[in-house]
Amino acid sequence: MPMTHEAATSRPACRRGGKISLVVPVYNEGKGLAALRDALVAVMDALPYEWDCILVDDGSRDDSWAVIESISAADPRFKGLMFSRNFGKEMALTAGVEAAVGAGAVICLDADLQHPPEIIPELVAKWEEGYDIVATIREKVADYSLVKKIGSKTFYWFMRRFTDLDLPPNSTDFRLLDSKVVETLAQFTEGSRMFRGIIDWMGYKKTYISFCAPARSQGEPAYSVKKLFNLAINSFTSFSLVPLRLAGYLGLGIMAVTLPLLCVMVLANWFIGANITAIAFFTVFNTLLIGIVLCALGMMSLYIGHIHTEVVNRPLYIVRCRAGTWDGNA
Ligand code: UDP
Ligand code: MG
């Protein structure tokens, strides 16, 4: 499996500027937050960077917010944001990253310790090598059901096959984003968003690290199969217009079969006197009409696709860096 999508830069590792902000989406994780704090403090204090941690309570129904308040009162490096209701992990990540003002890098990770904080130094080392995005790939997950595993495999197959995203199987939201990626993220206004899909769409200089996910530190996964299915459909349709065009493709396929068949039937009837019944003739003719209607729907979907692209309003291009003098700055 490719661990690294790009050859590492030849530049020696160097310390980069700015603090590191950790962003953690929290949904009913009250019992595990103290363990998360201890793990993060142990790892982050060993790094030569200032750091802070933004815990985004995504409308938890347990005591998560009370725990976040007490953690942030005891250690000012921890901060909390509480949503008015459950908006989902993608929005919690978005809010946390937007709140990480002035950070040199942001690292997103889950609250349940399934994204092991111990590999944060590896992410930071890759950032120091010059990568803008250090993403992770989950090699094994201890507590995923068979349905979730099959669902995940199917989702990644569809995403790779029918979208332009460079989304390797089992890539996760556990990733480090350089400040320029965070700035670019602010340009995305789409409401229905797949956080890591958007990051992958951006391009930039990216590498991967793999890890084995342990079982959750406590509690049940918040993502039921139904919630994951909805997320998968949303993510897929926001990056692929293939479903919209399916009717058109089907119509073309039907026409490609029925039109020649109808011609053959008519010619056979006229020239060699084949005894083709009226029922057979009308069945093929009706199927051809269905094909024409589906093709018309396909034509409309091309225009709807353009509307979709305009409404999503993604940046038209992203500049990674500049050379020369711009407005007096080197
Ligand atoms: N989460 C969230 N909002 C939700 C569901 C989950 O913020 O509506 C958080 C959750 O607290 C955890 C992370 O997203 O920090 C991943 O959730 P989970 O462990 O349920 O997902 P899985 O590990 O099964 O992918
Ligand atoms: Mg989890």
Contacts of 263 (CB under 8 A, 6+ apart): none
What is residue 39's predicted lDDT score, i.e. its pLDDT? 96
Amino acid letter, residue 137? I
More confident residue, 54 or 153: 54
The stretch 70-89 carries a mean pLDDT of: 93
pLDDT at 15 > cutoff 80? no
DSSP for 254-317 reads: HHHHHHHHHHHHHHHHHHS-----HHHHHHHHHHHHHHHHHHHHHHHHHHHHHHHHHHHT--S-
Residue with the bigger pLDDT between 252 and 193: it is 252
Please, what sign has the CA dihedral across residues 298, 240, 193, 316?
A: negative
Helix (H) or strand (E) holding 178: strand 175-178
Name the one residue in this structure whose structure tokens are 């860096």: 321
Is 123:158 a contact under the CB 8 Å cutoff? no
Q: Retrieve residue 164's tokens.
A: 């332009």
What spacing in Å lies between the alpha carbon of 91 and ligand 2's midpoint?
Answer: 16
pLDDT at 312: 86
Within 10 angstroms of residue 174's Cβ, the number of other Cβ atoms is: 25
Residues within 5 Å of ion ligand 2 by Cβ? 112, 114
Whether 27 is in the pocket of ligand 1, judged by its Cβ within 6 Å, is yes
- Residue 295 Cβ < 6 Å to ligand 1: no
Residue 5 pLDDT grade (very low, low, confident, very high; cuts 50, 70, 90):
very low
Strand partners, 55: 24, 80
CA of 115 to the centre of ligand 2 (A): 8
Residues 6 or more apart whose Cβ sits within 8 Å of residue 317: none
Averaged over 146-171, what is the pLDDT? 85
- Which ligand 1 atom minimizes the distance to the CA of 213? 23
Q: Can you give the pLDDT at residue 121?
A: 96
**Please, what sign has the CA dihedral across residues 225, 231, 235, 241?**
positive
Mean pLDDT of 32-46: 96
Q: Are 143 and 221 in contact, with CB atoms under 8 Å apart? A: yes
Q: Is the pLDDT of residue 1 over 80?
A: no
- Residue 110 exposure: Cα atoms within 13 Å on the Cβ side: 23
Query: Within a 10 A sphere around the Cβ of 4, how many other Cβ atoms?
Result: 13
> What pTM was computed for the model?
0.82
Q: How far is CA 41 from CA 18, 83, 195, in A?
A: 18, 25, 26
User: Number of C-alpha atoms within 13 angstroms, CB side, residue 226?
Assistant: 0
- Mean pLDDT value across the chain: 88
Mean predicted confidence (pLDDT) in 160-181: 90
Distance 211 CA to ligand 2 centre (A): 14
Nearest CA to ligand 1 atom 2: 89
User: What separation in Å is there between the alpha carbon of 181 and the centre of ligand 1?
Assistant: 23
For residue 263, what pLDDT is reported?
Answer: 93
Please indicate whether residue 221, judged by its CB atom, sits closer than 6 Å to ligand 1: yes
**Which ligand 1 atom is nearest residue 143's CA?**
24
For ligand 1, atom 12: residue with the closest CA: 110
14 vs 295, residue with greater confidence = 295
